[in-house]
């Protein structure tokens, strides 16, 4: 990369520019999700094929470059940032990035730094995550049965995930459990998962499977609309709609019997795009304005073109003008190809 003299205007342009970015539909973009790696130490059946071909490591941005990109978005009004993958904690030296972004939390420039993880590495990093400003994480866990857990993750160890959850809670991090509802696999387990999560002070969020990336099975075999799951749960629990939000797409209900919250993410049956405040950045510097669309912006080129941030700022602003109204997910047996060819691990959950 050529050495470029830093222009003073470049160096100061983004400082204090806290007016939120607004897309063509009047939605303020205040939430950035960053996939720090497409690699994962699990091979969940609904997410990826068992024999995955991951990005060459040479194609990834450095952690320093990812930090610079995140800082540019924070300067342009992003208030919440979530690190995802793949599994973010398998990236070498990822805690450098966590600590650097955490400085924005400590300064007040960023409201929240969060993480989505499968929990496999959490026991190693929970204390440092908490020290870096992470106050809340999502742990992806689809079942409490070790045999089913092995079946769906292929490579995962259930006990390590439980150890990770214990470590996170001991460090003072609030944990939310994310579970993909899969008909004929874990749908009968959801009531027990709800009681377990709420019994430990954790919210539970259910997610409909999404048609992203080629996998080794037909997603329609296990697709379950959450409207059906909610009806089933209503036979055992009293569910009341509430206005609680975390900044993501989940709609929440309160469960009277447990006193806890249940989130529902319904990309297939209830399009949540009208309130979308999110964009997604990949580990290669590609910005996706929508999870379910292919239009993207290359931020690596302006990032590396100058040590200043004026070109990068312009590229971000131009990308936001192309944020679409919503996604076009379709899942049925007449449409066997995924709606989006890239896997979720590339874009980040």
Residues 236-280 have pLDDT tens digits of: 999 999 999 988 889 999 999 999 999 999 875 555 577 788 999
CA distances for 50 relative to 107, 217, 225, angstroms: 42, 11, 25
Question: Residue 276, annotated ligand binder?
Answer: yes
d(Cα 221, Cα 119) in Å, to the nearest integer? 27
1 part of a folded domain: no
Q: Is 48 exposed, middle or buried (0-12, 13-18, 19+ CB in 10 A)?
A: buried
pLDDT in tens, 111-136: 999 999 999 999 999 999 999 999 99
Residue 272 is predicted with a pLDDT of 56
3 part of a folded domain: no
Question: Residue 283, annotated ligand binder?
Answer: no
Percent pLDDT > 90 in the chain is 70
pTM reported for the whole predicted model: 0.84
Question: Residue 321, annotated ligand binder?
Answer: no
151 part of a folded domain: yes
Quick check: 213 pLDDT over 50? no
22 part of a folded domain: yes
Residue 7 is predicted with a pLDDT of 41
d(Cα 141, Cα 158) in Å, to the nearest integer? 9
Q: Which residue has the tokens 């800082």?
A: 71
Q: What is the mean pLDDT of residues 293-311?
A: 93
d(Cα 35, Cα 105) in Å, to the nearest integer? 19
- Say which residue, 344 or 303, is predicted with more confidence: 303
Question: Residue 135, annotated ligand binder?
Answer: no
Question: Residue 35, annotated ligand binder?
Answer: no
Domain that holds residue 286: 8-347
2 part of a folded domain: no
> Could you tell me the pLDDT band of residue 57, with boundaries at 50, 70 and 90?
confident
49 part of a folded domain: yes
Total tally of structural domains belonging to the chain: 1
74 part of a folded domain: yes
- Give the mean pLDDT of the chain: 87
Quick check: 333 pLDDT over 60? no
pLDDT in tens, 80-104: 999 999 999 999 999 999 999 999 9
Residue 114's CATH number: 3.20.20.70
Comparing CA positions, the residue from 118, 139, 263, 137 lying closest to residue 194 is 263
Question: Residue 251, annotated ligand binder?
Answer: no
Question: Residue 40, annotated ligand binder?
Answer: yes
258 part of a folded domain: yes
Q: Residue 288: helix, strand or coil by DSSP?
A: strand
């Amino acid at each position: 990369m050529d050495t470029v003299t830093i222009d003073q205007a470049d160096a100061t342009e983004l400082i204090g520019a806290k007016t939120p970015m607004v897309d063509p539909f009047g939605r303020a973009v205040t939430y950035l999700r960053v996939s720090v790696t497409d690699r994962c130490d699990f091979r969940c059946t609904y997410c990826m094929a068992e024999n995955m071909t991951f990005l060459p490591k040479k194609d990834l941005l450095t952690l320093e470059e990812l930090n610079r990109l995140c800082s540019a978005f924070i300067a342009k009004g992003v208030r919440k940032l979530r690190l995802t993958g793949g599994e973010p904690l398998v990236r070498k030296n990822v805690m450098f990035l966590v600590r650097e972004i955490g400085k924005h939390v400590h300064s007040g420039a960023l409201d929240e730094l969060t993480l989505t993880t499968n929990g496999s590495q959490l026991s190693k990093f929970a204390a440092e995550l908490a020290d870096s400003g992470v106050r809340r994480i999502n742990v992806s866990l689809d079942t409490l049965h070790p045999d089913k857990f092995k079946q769906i993750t292929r490579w995962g160890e259930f006990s390590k995930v439980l150890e990770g959850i214990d470590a996170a809670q001991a460090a003072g991090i609030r944990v939310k459990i994310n579970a993909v509802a899969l008909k004929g696999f874990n749908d009968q387990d959801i009531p027990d998962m709800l009681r377990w999560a709420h019994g430990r002070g954790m919210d539970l969020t259910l997610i409909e499977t999404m048609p992203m990336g080629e996998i080794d099975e037909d997603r329609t075999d296990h697709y379950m609309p959450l409207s059906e799951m909610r009806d089933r749960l209503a036979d055992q629990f009293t569910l009341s709609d509430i206005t609680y939000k975390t900044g993501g797409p989940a709609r929440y209900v309160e469960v009277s019997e447990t006193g806890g919250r249940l989130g529902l993410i319904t990309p297939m049956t209830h399009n949540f795009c009208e309130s979308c405040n999110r964009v997604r950045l990949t580990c290669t510097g590609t910005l996706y304005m929508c999870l379910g669309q292919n239009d993207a912006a290359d931020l690596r080129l302006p990032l590396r073109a100058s040590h200043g941030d004026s070109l990068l700022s312009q590229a971000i602003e131009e990308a936001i003008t192309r944020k679409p109204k919503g996604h076009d997910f379709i899942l049925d047996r007449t449409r066997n190809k995924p709606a989006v060819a890239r896997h979720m691990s590339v874009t980040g959950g």
